[in-house]
A and B are shown apart, each in its own frame.
Chain A
Amino acid sequence: MTSVKLRMGLAIAAAVLVSTAATAHHSAAMFDDSRVVEIKGVVKELQWTNPHVWLQVTVDDKGARKEWSVEAGSPNTLSRNGWKSTSFKPGDAVTVRINPMKDGSAAGNFIGAKFDGDGRTIGRWN
């Protein structure tokens, strides 16, 4: 059973957390760069597609299953920075840090992720 925590507003300097996702093809106005949300759940799917890679994570939110959509950069750029199309596999237990949507929707801009099983990280974590 995956334990789920939603920690809002981690005190991490926004200036350090330059978004990777929204530079490619659209405005990033929907994301709140001043906040970091940590979601803990299970990978449902990694959409390895242009113009953006999307990580779908199923989160147990107070007993209800909720799917989060996490937007990352293009597969082109991510692949040149160590990502693979298989970096996230369905069923992986992960903790993902995002800049959340300003309106509170279950989506955000990818910052970094940590695999609960072996502690590996991807993206910016520290």
Chain B
Amino acid sequence: MRSLGTLVMVLAVTAGAQAQSPSSRPLPDWSGVWAMQGNTVFDRASVQPPTGRAGDAGVREAPPYNDEWEAIYRRNIDRVKAGAFPDPVSTCGTPHGFPRIMNVPDVYEFAVTPQATWILAENGPGILRVYTDGRSYPAKEDLWPTYTGASIGRWEGDTLVFTTVSLKASKDNDVIVDRTGIVLSDASHSTTRMRKIDAETIEAQMVIEDPKAFKAPWTVTKRYKKQPAGTWAWDYACAENNRNPITDSGKTLTLGPDGKPLDKKVD
């Protein structure tokens, strides 16, 4: 199994060798405000039932888990059924992380510059920084697992290709892929190919590899539709009036305007 340090070194060399001069070609126009198509099931191509929504009882996808991680997924699915699968973003402090940042409601903006592309998710905090300035990944001792990881990319024509490493593993479901209960290990890394497939649609195809959790790479495609000209993206201050805190057991409460739980049973 390839260690993260080795992987980072290999990717650093690859990214460094293939990086283009920032001014070598005009960059595509991804301006405007965009919204992800469909609901927040991460892999809508494999979800069962096909109309299932993330967080509904019995809904699942088909990530290529090995037996150990399939068992973890099934336990999480059971927790969803019991109403006790907490969404870490309900704390109003933790980022969605990668790859979940590619799969959130509300809207997106894609800020493309020669040096970097910023994927800005209104629902957040949600920023994915993709550096395209030819840099290498930090040395292993200068890199630590984070929710959104470290992404280095390059332009292949009008396609942004980036690889994301150094992702924080899910520990007690503190970072998840979606509300069906999908989680990844600390060995996960992804290569994303992102391009405009028509004037109104941007597509991101992610190939997620996880040597600890998966038997094979997992390819998931998300699409984003351009919103009408002049659409605004706004501040998303999750902690402003969070009336849905989570109990220690993972239950999501509903608070009244006085801040006291309306739920008849709190835990």
User: Could you list which residues of chain A lie within 8 angstroms of chain B, going by C-beta atoms?
Assistant: 15, 18, 22-30, 33, 45, 47, 49-52, 54, 56, 67, 69, 71, 74-77, 79-80, 101, 103-107
Stretch among B164-172, B184-192, B236-244 lining the A interface: B236-244
B105 to A105, Cβ gap below 8 A?
Answer: no
> In the complex, A29 Cα to B89 Cα: how many Å?
15
What chain B residues lie within 8 Å of A50 (beta carbons)? 235-238, 240-241
* Shortest Cβ gap from B68 to chain A (Å): 25
Q: Flag if B236 contacts A76 (CB, 8 Å).
A: yes
- Of A18, A25, A56, A80, most B-chain CB atoms within 10 Å: A25
B87 and A69 within 8 A (CB): no
Contact of A54 among B55, B243, B264 (CB under 8 A): B243
Given A45-B257, A107-B262, residue A30 in contact with residue B252 (CB < 8 A): yes
- Distance between Cα atoms of A69 and B240 in the complex (Å): 17
Chain B interface size band reads 35 or more
Kindly list chain B residues whose C-beta atoms are within 8 Å of the C-beta of A105: 254, 262-264
In the complex the two chains form, what is the Cα distance from A105 to B252 in whole Å?
14
Given known A-B contacts A25-B89, A26-B252, A54 and B240 have beta carbons under 8 A apart? no
With an 8 A cutoff between CB atoms, is B122 at the interface? yes
In the assembled complex, the CB of B207 is this many whole angstroms from the nearest CB of chain A, namely 26
> In the complex, given contacts A27-B179, A51-B92, A107-B256, what are 18 additional A-B residue pairs having Cβ atoms less than 8 angstroms apart?
A18-B53, A25-B92, A25-B244, A26-B90, A27-B83, A29-B57, A29-B85, A30-B252, A50-B235, A67-B256, A69-B254, A69-B257, A76-B107, A76-B233, A76-B234, A77-B105, A104-B264, A106-B262
Asked whether B40 is an interface residue with its Cβ less than 8 Å from the other chain, the reply is yes
Residue of A nearest to B81 (CB): A29
Q: A104 to chain B: which residues have CB within 8 Å?
A: 264
Residues of chain A contacted by B227 (CB below 8 angstroms): 80
Complex Cα distance A28/B85, Å? 11
Interface pair B90/A30, CB less than 8 Å apart: no
